[in-house]
């Protein structure tokens, strides 16, 4: 066990002053006396206010999520809001929070700092989904918004996401400008913490009704919902915010058989029934699938703690439950929605969808069929929201990302699991009208456009050393890129950090017209696509692998999928094994 540096000990001792509460001082003193490693991790830097906001492990110290780091970040944001809206007497902000430990306390200190700075706060009276917060910003004419959440991260984490007046998460130039203001707040004494109750307004169930009515307005097949109202759905919020509104929505829609997983409807930031509250993890959906088997349900739906991501399980041709990944869910929904838009005569040639650069290119193929434009954006739903904002002359239909996020319509400007579950339920009714299941719709998509398979591998590299390891990996991939993958020659390399795409056949470089980001992509002559990027929210480096093959006959689907899966496993080894050696 190494000793903490004198600088770190000095920084920690500053947290023993009377500005900090007794429990915080006690915990800091314990670290100084007993745990130099944790002391170092807690104080070696100031918790980074990233381009989306805060996220970190909860605990005492400058590098942890606690009421002091939250208050200091909020003061910086408040200063920026007042500066940008200097002509407004009272700027407004909406604040929501999720089920995590300390979320309510962090929301309260955030509200206190904002009202202390003369900013009116609309604060949800209890936990609510992130997308409802995004909706509230525009509905209530706010200049900004905050949701206290660490999304699907493990229970040790919390954070908050910052939104701007368009209802989307902050992007350039606001992201960097807010970071600059936050960095100016170097001591808790610089924070105004005495809240002004006159500037606080609470939001409750009545606001849910406004939001859910808007969700219902997206319906493309209301008659089919009525006809197939006896379809059955099992749902879990995984102890999170979706439990507040999803039962109301399905009742409002008229579905008669909606079965929540009662054990997971309990609000609990310790997530006692799962190892990880992430619907991308099969284990997180196991209780829901078991209940669905018992109830003979048609579809399983799961939302993460802040209800912006959706996990889905559908019955295959043998009646067994099959977990869909984010790309498959997005493909089914895009296909359903564009088909209905065409049938209803709503397509005019000015519509578009959006996906992220690591999301399946199958979405492009589907959109092309309907002559709907596709925009590719950087990873992160904030870039989808920004595209909606900056294309006012065109109409956004829907958009998605491989990491289980999807959005329909533009009254919310973030991924929305509430909307997505509703549209999936409606798509189930649409499929049932044709005597099909969602799985059979997916097979028809593969038959028409080819079978697309993807694989995501994340390597976790924790602590100070992990940050350096990830930097070095990205440097190696840039300076020594592969020449071929599985015998297929690389024809293009895109470096989003440099903003350059290089044609490897002719050496021609073209500019990538997207914001700079630390992402590399490799494309081969046989449609292999590999993307590499450090995570923006966790100590991970992520590898995305994608391949596709045409499908001649439906009976060959299993064999084609098996072959693609094996090739993806081999492809992953090329990138992962050298990093683990």
What's the CA gap between 143 and 136, in Å, rounded? Answer: 11
**Helix, coil or strand: residue 422:** helix
The pair of three-digit structure tokens given for residue 469, joined into one six-digit string: 């390891």
Residues 6+ apart with CB under 8 A from 81: 91, 93, 119, 143, 144
CA proximity to 309, closest of 376, 222, 377, 237:
237
CA proximity to 56, closest of 75, 44, 42:
42
Tracing tokens 């023993």 back to the chain, one arrives at: 16
Packing angle of the helix pair 6-13, 22-34 (nearest 10 deg): 160
Helices (H) and strands (E) in the chain, counts: 19, 23
| Phi, psi for 144 (deg, rounded to 5) | -160, 175
Long-range contacts of 44-48 (CB under 8 A, 24+ apart): 44/8, 44/464, 46/183, 47/73
Burial 438-460 (b: 16+ CB within 10 A, else e): bbbbbbbbbbebbbbbbbbbebe
Residues 6+ apart with CB under 8 A from 234: 259, 260, 261, 288, 289, 291, 292, 295, 297, 299, 300, 301
The pair of three-digit structure tokens given for residue 259, joined into one six-digit string: 């079965």
What's the CA gap between 194 and 107, in Å, rounded? Answer: 14
The pair of three-digit structure tokens given for residue 569, joined into one six-digit string: 């496993």
Cβ pair 95, 107 in contact under 8 A: yes
3-state secondary structure 134-153: HHHHHHCCCCEEEEECCCCC
| Phi, psi for 299 (deg, rounded to 5) | -140, 145
Catalytic annotation, residues = 151
| Burial of 291 per CB tally in 10 Å (0-12, 13-18, 19+) | buried
What's the CA gap between 34 and 11, in Å, rounded? Answer: 16
Quickly list DSSP for 14-67.
Answer: GGGSTTS-HHHHHHHHHHHHH-HHHHHHHHSSPPP--SSEEEEEBSSSTTSBSH
Packing angle of the helix pair 36-43, 22-34 (nearest 10 deg): 130
**Helix, coil or strand: residue 498:** coil
Dihedral sign of CA atoms 538, 184, 170, 521 in order: negative
**Helix, coil or strand: residue 111:** helix
């Amino acid at each position: 066990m190494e000793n903490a540096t004198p600088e770190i000990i000095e920084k920690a001792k500053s947290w023993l002053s009377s500005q900090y509460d007794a429990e915080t001082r006690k915990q800091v003193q314990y670290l100084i006396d007993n745990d130099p490693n944790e002391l170092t991790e807690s104080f070696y830097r100031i918790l980074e206010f990233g381009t989306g906001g805060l996220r970190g492990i909860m605990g005492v110290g400058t590098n942890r999520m606690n009421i002091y780091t939250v208050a200091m970040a909020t003061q910086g944001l408040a200063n920026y809001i007042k500066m940008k809206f200097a002509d407004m007497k009272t700027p407004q902000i909406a604040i929501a929070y999720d089920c995590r430990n300390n979320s309510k306390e962090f929301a309260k200190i955030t509200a206190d700092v904002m009202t202390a700075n003369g900013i009116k706060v609309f604060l949800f009276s209890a936990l609510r989904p992130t997308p409802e917060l995004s909706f509230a910003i525009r509905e209530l004419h706010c200049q900004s918004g905050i949701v206290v959440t660490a999304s699907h991260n493990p229970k040790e984490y919390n954070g908050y996401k910052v939104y701007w007046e368009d209802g989307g998460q902050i992007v350039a130039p606001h992201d960097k400008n807010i970071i600059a203001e936050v960095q100016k707040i170097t001591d808790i004494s610089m924070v105004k913490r005495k809240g002004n109750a006159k500037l606080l307004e609470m939001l409750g169930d009545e606001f849910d009704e406004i939001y859910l009515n808007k969700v219902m307005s997206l319906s493309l097949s209301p008659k089919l919902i009525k006809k197939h109202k006896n379809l059955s759905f099992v749902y879990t919020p995984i102890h999170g915010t979706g439990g507040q509104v999803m039962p109301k929505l399905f009742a409002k829609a008229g579905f008669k058989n909606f079965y929540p997983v009662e054990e997971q409807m309990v609000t609990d930031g310790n997530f006692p029934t799962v190892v990880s509250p992430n619907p991308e993890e099969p284990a997180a959906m196991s209780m829901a699938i078991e209940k669905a088997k018992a109830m003979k349900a048609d579809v399983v739906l799961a939302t993460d703690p802040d209800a912006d991501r959706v996990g889905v399980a559908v019955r295959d041709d043998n009646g067994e439950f099959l977990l869909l990944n984010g790309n498959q869910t997005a493909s089914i929904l895009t296909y359903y929605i564009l088909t209905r838009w065409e049938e209803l005569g709503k397509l005019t040639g000015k519509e578009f969808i959006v996906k992220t650069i690591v999301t399946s290119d199958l979405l492009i193929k589907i959109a092309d069929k309907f002559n709907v434009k596709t925009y590719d954006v950087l990873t992160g739903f904030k870039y989808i929201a920004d595209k909606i904002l900056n294309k006012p002359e065109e109409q956004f239909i829907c958009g998605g990302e491989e990491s289980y996020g999807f959005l329909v319509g533009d009254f919310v400007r973030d991924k929305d699991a509430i909307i997505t579950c509703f549209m999936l339920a409606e798509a189930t009714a649409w499929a049932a009208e044709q005597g099909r299941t969602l799985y059979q719709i997916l097979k028809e998509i593969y038959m028409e456009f080819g079978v697309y398979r993807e694989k995501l591998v994340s390597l976790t590299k924790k602590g100070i050393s992990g940050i350096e390891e990830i930097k070095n990996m990205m440097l190696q991939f840039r300076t020594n890129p592969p020449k071929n993958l599985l015998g297929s020659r690389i024809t293009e390399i895109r470096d989003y950090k440099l903003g350059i795409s290089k044609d490897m056949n002719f050496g021609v470089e073209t500019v990538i017209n997207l914001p700079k980001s630390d992402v590399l992509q490799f494309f081969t002559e046989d449609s292999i696509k590999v993307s590499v990027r450090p995570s923006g929210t966790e100590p991970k480096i992520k590898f995305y692998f994608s391949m596709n093959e045409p499908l001649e006959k439906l009976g060959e689907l299993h064999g084609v999928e098996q072959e693609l899966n094996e090739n993806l496993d081999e492809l992953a080894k090329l990138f992962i094994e050298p990093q683990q050696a």
